[in-house]
Structure 1
Amino acid sequence: MISFALHNLRHRKASFAGAFLALLCAAALVCAFGMLLETGLRGTIAAARYAGTPVIVAGDQNVRETIRKSEDKVKTKAKPIAERAWIAAGLADRLRALPGVTSVVTEVTFPAYITGVFSGTGAEPGASTSSAAPSADAPMASTLFLGHGWESSALTPFTVAQGRAPKADDEVVTDAAAGLRVGSRVTIQSTAEPRVYRVVGVTAQALENQPTLFFLTAEARRLAGHPGLVSAIGVFPATEVTAALKDASAQAPAEVKGAVAVAYTGEARGPLEFLNADKARIKLISLGGALGGTSLLVAIIVVVGTFALSIQQRLREIALLRAVAATPRQIRKMIGAEALLISLPAGAIGAALGLGLGFWLQARFVALSAIPVNLKLVVSPFPIFAAVLATVVAAWTAARVSARRTARVRPVEALGDAALAPAALSLVRVLAGLGCIAGGVTLTIVLSTLSSEAASNPVTMLTALLWTVAVALLGPVIARILVSVPALPLRASGAGGYLAAANLRTGARRLASVIAPLTLMVTMTCTILFVQDTTGHAVATQQRDGTRAAHVLGPHVSATAVEAVRHAPGVTAVTEILHTTVRIGLAKHGAQAVTPTGLGKTMDLGVRSGSIDLLAENTVAVSETLGFKVGDQIKLTLGDGTPAALKVVATYTRNLGFGDLTLAHSLVAAHVDNPLSDTVLVTGSSPEGLAKALRNFPGIMVADQATVAAEREQAGAEINYVAMGLIIAFTVIAVGNTLAMATSDRTREFALLRLVGTTRRQILRMLRLETLSVVAISVLLGTAAALITISAFSSGMTGSALPYISPLTYALIVVGAAILALAATGFPARLALDGHPAETIGARE
């Protein structure tokens, strides 16, 4: 059968080109997403600032929970915390006393923003400066710098190329990439009030993706805002210090004890330096696994349809083989061999393209700040082998499934079957379709109960795919039922319409192979786009309805700026808001920290029970979705790992807009890396009055809540759009591919129509009407599948089964599907109509 398979490939290139292209795209996606998955599992974060330091002593960046499964079996689970855990500065003295330690360097790390730059009149550090001329090479005010004390410059190490090290608390040294000159004056907004500093030095070095500012050590510790604590301690040379840490931590003063100290060496230094590394790796694991699996499922659906269409086009050939004594087993072996011969090169070429696609995805995620630049993409043979293997298995399975019925027909029925394939479905196919419907119903019910995006997103895509698979399996039956609707008006619309109606009525099996990928495209596109829109709209609605303040200030608002606003004429209430992440047990929850005074005038959380007026440092308000009641005690872990036990004083409904927990600002501010308020709600006054009050605080903008919310949600949505957009592109290619194959196979039909007097124009009109009818059916089915899925998602996430669907976006999807279908059928049809009808029939025969 291998020789027959090779012969078929040589002489039926057009029939197999569609399957080859579908498999190639599938292999590329599986390889690319496999690279992301492997990077999440095995990727390492290269240390940059800590690369030259053998041992870094810092706080434990995990919250741990011990689970006792039995008397003899105890398991400890760990999850990363969101903020930096600080340790006692006194540990440095104890580490210096350890044998073999030659040097100990303490470090504090804090965020700093340059909000104004002015060039001085002289290049020397002591020269006078002028505030009249802004520096042309000043960095953007939105650029985040990392502030450190000059003592920690030895960790990298940094050396001064121009000027000198800072000697006063109003002096600063910038790195080589900052674009500042010695003698410039800069206004820096750090964790405290903004202050003007003089640039007295520029380093010879700069770290990638880590713009750095060095202050006098005492000033840096003041700005860090953690008295008696440091963010890390560097130990030279490499030595075993772990055993001494426990004793040193225990002897630290209680008021400055800080977090549990841990020694980090080797590859462990990178994640400590880039605290979002673990979050990025988890994101890559979830994206790579979910999207790789989705790509494979989509590929199987597409390839099954493509092979089914290819086999339909060869029914006469297969019938002749059966008539000359070819056994069903030989037919299946031949079709299986064809699948292997197609899938192996398609998988290899696709996997090679997938490598480039993986690097492109990594670059996009870095640009969107989803992963750190130091998380390098892991390149190994495993994603390549997985892509090739998945492609081969998908192709072989699709070919055998598609050939199952054709190979089993009796020889005397074969030619009749080739002439007119009956639309009856096998019992196995019907049962499989009904099983997919049952699975879709089950997953839809499950999805309606999920209230977190992490849990609902994978289920959402699987639910949509199951509904689409059901459509593909029961396609001929669905097509026969639905084509009767457009057939009635088509028969009354001239010769082209009459022919289109006749084809729709008799070609149910061929139509099913075209409807399936079109339905898949509409379902996937609607689901991906409108799930994001539904969540974003719910967030925006809750924030709009829950925000009573007229003005929103941000970002990075200091306590001094807030006080200036409070004393502005007409201001009646000011609420500072700081966003963070806390853990209840090991479960992660978004939280907001607010100033309780006057909260009712600026914010309405939709309180269901209790009173938000009782919010204080030892209390908390929670979303009712968490299941707590007023009076309950919640043990949680703050962003930097500090435990807290808080009493529930209120439950509320608007958790999407304001987070699962609402805490007191004074409690949280001391346990985050950046205590500056993300936003500040203000009632009373006017934009002009606020601008006047903030004239000494550059960089703070006056906006509305919707604008701030949109900016906060944009990055996360873009990440999903980039990844899921590839699957949409794959389905678009598959749809065009299938439609072109289906149209190309009708060359003989077009020639016969022309011989009996049908004009070229009538045939093209027939095709357009057929195509538009198929698009209408596919849009109907795809919309129904997507709507069921999105409604279940919306019910779980927002509490309402009514999703948000943009009419314009939906119209563009429908129009796009129609244009794609018309183009994919029109072009091959025109090519098929170019030849002489008699010659075409002779060639086909």
Structure 2
Amino acid sequence: MIFFALRTIRHRKAGFAGAFLALMCAAALVCACGMLLETGLRGGVAPERYAGAPVLVAGDRYVRETIRKSEGKTKAKAKALSERRWIPASLAGELGRLPGVGRVVTEVTFPVLVAGRSFWGHGWESAPLTPFTLRAGRAPRDGNELVADARAGLDVGAEVTVESPAGSRVYRVTGVTAEALPSQDTLFFAASEARRLAGRPGLVSAIGVFPRSGAPRIDLPPVPGGAVVHTGDERGAAEFLDAEQARLKLVSMGGALGGTALLVAILVVVGTFALSVQQRHREIALLRAVAATPRQVRRLLGGEALVLGVVAGTLGSALGIGLGFWLRSRFVALGVMPENLRLVVSPFPVLAALAATVLAAWTAARVSARRTARIRPVEALGEAALPTARLPRRRMLAGLLCAAGGTVLTLVLSGLSTEAASGPVTMLTALVWTVAAALLGPVIARVAVALLGAVLRASRVSGYLAAANLRAGSHRLALVITPLSLMVAMTCTILFVQTTMGYAAQEEAAAGDRADYVLGTRVSSAAAEAVRGVPGVEAVTEVLHTSVRVGLEKYGAQAVTPAGLSLTLDPGVVAGSLHGLGPQTVAVSRTAASRLGVSVGSPLRLTLGDGTAVTLRVVALYERGLGYGELLLAHGLVRPHVDDPFSTALVSAPSLSRAALERAAPGVAVLDRVRAVAVGTPNAEVNYVTMGLIIAFTAIAAVNTLAMSASDRSREFALLRLVGTTPRQVLRMARLETLTAVLVSVAVGTVISLVTLTAFSLGMTGSARPHVPPPAYLALVASVAVLTLAATALPVRFVLRARPAEAIS
């Protein structure tokens, strides 16, 4: 059958072009997602700063927990910390006494600002760990001296004001390095000054260990103090704290995006093959009439699908490698993954994409040909002339089962209150509802034609013809509706999940806003203290964003200064009081409290960002968790345990003007509340990039289906021309049919997305009203209309160029 399949494809290239394009795009998506997934599982991060240290000792980046299972078995689990775990400086002396160790170098790391530009500060003593060498000048000796890297743009002898967590000070540049690191700007201070600026006495961020002269390597034993030994690319993971989070995110994104792409691909390719098989009813009918068995017809269509799948999968996988590199560049630009996290390129994603494409093609062909291959030879020619209007029972049952599954997923989604849980379920819910709509498409099409037919017939010739064509070809309309409604549903869901969350967070933050001004976004405690001393300032609340873990579960938290808190913000306390917030207490959002099973007065054991375990007492529950985080902690408790202690400051100063406050706090930006909230809102661009590929694929499939449907109607258009219909009337008829398909698809897609978004909003925000900006929705509808009209008009114009007699022949 492969021989016959090849001959069929060769003589019907146009008929298979649509399926080929859909399969190629699917293979590219699956291959790119597989590369992301494999990078998350096996990718390594090359060190930059620690490239000069053969062995690095740094704090353990994980919080670990042993879980007891049935039958007395235990399982150890670990989750990454959000901040750097510091280790005792005394550990350097212990390491220096080990056999084979020649030299031990300690390092401290802290953030600094120079004219608003971010740098990482270190002591010059740690320069041997790095590739840095002096190009000009000398090393810093006194507390007011520093060495700048080659990219800083500073010259020897220059004086610069450096803002650090310890305050502001003027330093003199005594040296400039010959090198600069690709992804981090660096300033070196004298060793004692660096320890003062870091603010962690007795602790260091890392220790480099060098072998004794002549020793090829060092084998260090396990070290105490929560420290871990790193060599090779492990040094890069210790240097780039976001590398592990990036790998985990790539695993989740690659798996979710790849799975979604495969489901969408199967749905789209099934529709494309169904249209292709439908266009070949007459050919298949003739095969059945000359004694071809149903098995032979299925094998023929399956062979065609296998050939298409192999060729399209091979080309698509090659394109997918380039797409994977493009995705990586976008994620690096958005800050999702570090530049040093290398993309893993291996045969596995290519082979997986090829296998998935072939399987999707074969499945689509078998599903599309199932009913066509089983009809009796005598009925075949009649079937080719006039397709039946009755929906097969199995398809009806499958559609109802998918609708039931969509209902269950919608109910489950409405009860999920965390993004980690609701994210995958949201997309799955929209997909299942779309599959149900695709299976029940003929029913939806007939109902839509019955409702809209009267309106179309009012448009004289073109409208009358469009209504008659839609009524007779409702099966064709159903195939066009599927990719269009999928595009609308997916796009609305992706876009408006983000707007719903962002709007809810801004609404809660605005409702609790009591501050007159916002200083930020990076203000040191010393600068905040200086503002507190300005006459007319009633309260200054420093706000620090971080995350903590309760057990192994991650919670977003805000650290605030308790003094005068009621004058700057109101998180909506429903139980207890924030007056008791301090180093030994915590306030919990009502949603998080229900998950944790705590109330006012309950103890809560949690792990801070750097791995420090603390037990706090719950003093308040509040309702505005989206706007103010799931936990509220004291600023003094959290500040020593984060890598970047610069904060945003909320200021209560009703008697001061903005200009007066700017004069009182020179060099500190004064923001309005809307901008401050936007700064704290998670970046949604990553989701737009990843899921935008699915939308683009769906749009290509929709255009493909419309073009195939229009180009197959050459005989129909020729007959209309022969009976006196003008080309303009035929074109207008096609446009009216397309607009009808757009209207029905937009309605179906909107209903699917609205059901999904309502459930998502109810679970995440407690409100059944998702936020859908009208301009964005109207722009989407207009884009779909323009895309579909163009995809219909171009093939129809091309078909109308042929003479009617030639087209019929």
The residue aligned with 1:48 is: 48
User: Which of 798, 801, 804 matches 2:765?
Assistant: 798
Residues 140-289 of structure 1 mapped to structure 2, 5 A cutoff: 141-142=116-117, 144-237=118-211, 238-243=217-222, 245-246=223-224, 249=225, 260-289=226-255
Q: TM-score, normalised by structure 2?
A: 0.97
Instruction: Indicate conservation of the 8 Å contact 1:25/1:350, yes or no.
Output: yes
Where 1:387 maps in the other structure, the secondary structure is helix
**Which amino acid counterpart does residue 676 of structure 1 have in structure 2?**
F
**1:361 alignment partner, one of 322, 327, 343:** 327
Q: Indicate the residue corresponding to 2:110 in structure 1.
A: 110
1:323 Cα deviation (Å)? 0.2
- The corresponding residue for 1:135 is none
Pairing of 1:419-818 with structure 2 (within 5 A): 419-626=385-592, 627=594, 628-684=598-654, 685-695=656-666, 698=667, 700-713=668-681, 716-818=683-785
8 A Cα contact 2:568 2:651, kept in partner: yes
Q: Displacement of 1:680 after TM fit?
A: 3.3
Secondary structure of residue in 1 paired with 2:523 = coil
Change (3 A) 1:71 1:765: closer
Instruction: Please provide the CA RMSD for this pair.
Output: 1.2
Say which is worse superposed, 53-62 or 418-427, in terms of deviation: 53-62
Displacement of 1:678: 3.3
**Amino acid paired to 1:837:** P
Q: Name the structure 2 match of 1:828.
A: 795
State the one-letter code of the partner of 1:582: V
Q: CA deviation at 1:389?
A: 0.8
Contact 1:558 1:677 in 2 (8 A): yes
Matched residue count: 799
- How many angstroms apart in 2 are the aligned matches of 1:233 and 1:316? 77
Preserved CA contact (<8 Å) 2:426 2:756: yes
How far the C-alpha of 1:681 sits from its partner, in A, is: 3.8
Shift of 1:168: 0.9
Q: Please give the residue correspondences for 1:284-433 in structure 2 after superposition, counting only pairs within 5 Å.
A: 284-433=250-399
Equivalent runs, 1:41-80 vs 2, <5 Å: 41-70=41-70, 72-80=72-80
Deviation string 1:353-409 (CA, Å, 9 cap, x unpaired) is: 111111111011111111111101000111111111111100110011000000000
Q: Amino acid of the residue matched to residue 173 of structure 2? A: V
Output aligned runs, 1:126-145, within 5 Å: 141-142=116-117, 144-145=118-119
- Once the two structures are TM-superposed, the CA of residue 158 in structure 1 deviates from its matched residue by 2.2
Equivalent position SS for 1:102: strand
Preserved contact between residue 165 and residue 525 of structure 2 (Cα < 8 Å) = no
Q: Select between 317-326 and 57-66 the one with higher mean Cα deviation.
A: 57-66
- Provide the rounded CA distance (Å) in 2 between the counterparts of 1:811 and 1:677: 39
Q: How much has 1:683 moved relative to structure 2?
A: 3.8
User: Following the alignment from structure 2 to structure 1, what is the Cα–Cα distance between the partners of residues 272 and 42?
Assistant: 36
CA contact (8 A) 2:590 2:621 kept: yes
Assess if the C-alpha contact under 8 Å between 1:548 and 1:683 holds in 2. Answer: no
Query: What's 1:95 paired with?
Result: 95
Structure 1 length as normaliser, TM-score?
0.93
**Shift, 1:466, TM fit:** 0.5
Q: Give the corresponding residue for 1:131.
A: none
What is the deviation of 1:100?
1.3
- Specify every segment of 5 or more residues in structure 2 that has no aligned partner in the other structure, as ranges: 212-216
Contact conserved, 2:537 with 2:651, CA < 8 A, in 1?
Answer: no
Taking the aligned partners of 1:823 and 1:332, their CA distance within structure 2 comes to: 35
Q: What amino acid is the match of 1:543?
A: A
SS in 2 for 1:401: helix
Aligned to 1:136: none
Task: Provide the rounded CA distance (Å) in 2 between the counterparts of 1:62 and 1:581.
Answer: 14
CA distance in 1, matches of 2:353, 2:159: 56
Would you say the 8 A contact 1:34–1:288 is kept in 2? yes
CA contact (8 A) 1:601 1:683 kept: no
Secondary structure of residue in 1 paired with 2:167: coil
Identify the residue that residue 126 of structure 1 maps to in structure 2.
none
Structure 2: distance between partners of 1:712 and 1:156:
33
Once the 2 structures are TM-superposed, how far is the Cα of residue 4 of structure 1 from its aligned partner?
2.4
Poorly superposed stretches of 4+, deviation over 4 Å: none
The 8 Å contact of residues 521 and 669 in structure 2, kept in 1 or not, is answered as yes
Distance 2:467 2:770 in 1: 36
**Cα distance, 1:71 vs. partner?**
6.0
Instruction: Give CA-to-partner distance per residue, 1:180-208, whole Å, 9 cap, x none.
Output: 21111111112211111111101122221
> 3-state DSSP class of the match of 1:194?
strand
Change (3 A) 1:656 1:827: same
Task: Give the distance between the partners of 2:648 and 2:326, measured in 1 at CA.
Answer: 32
* Cα distance, 1:72 vs structure 2: 4.2
Secondary structure (helix, strand or coil) at the match of 1:483 reads helix
Taking the aligned partners of 2:678 and 2:760, their CA distance within structure 1 comes to: 21
Within 2, Cα distance between the matches of 1:465 and 1:28?
Answer: 20
CA distance in 2, matches of 1:90, 1:172: 26
Q: Tell me if the contact between 1:609 and 1:650 (Cα under 8 Å) persists in the aligned partners.
A: yes
Q: Tell me whether 559-568 or 811-820 shows the greater mean CA deviation.
A: 559-568
The 8 Å contact of residues 66 and 76 in structure 1, kept in 2 or not, is answered as yes
Measure the CA separation in 2 of the matches of 1:832 and 1:227: 80
- Partner Cα distance (1:839, 1:358) in 2: 47
Counterparts of 1:760 and 1:266, CA distance in 2: 71
> Could you tell me how far 1:555 is from its partner in structure 2?
1.8
CA contact (8 A) 1:557 1:680 kept: no
For 2:214, the equivalent position in structure 1 comes to: none
Q: Which runs of 5+ in 1 are unaligned?
A: 116-140, 250-259
Letter in 1 for 2:672: D
- Where does residue 27 of structure 2 map in the other structure? 27
In 2, the alpha carbon distance for the partners of 1:683 and 1:529 equals: 38
* Identical counterparts, % of pairs: 63
For residues 627-672 of structure 1, give each alpha carbon's deviation from its aligned partner in whole angstroms, at most 9, with x where no partner exists: 2211111000011100010111111111111100000011111111
Q: Secondary structure of 2:50's partner?
A: coil
Give the deviation of 1:163 after TM superposition: 0.5
Contact 1:60-1:261 at 8 Å conserved across structures: yes
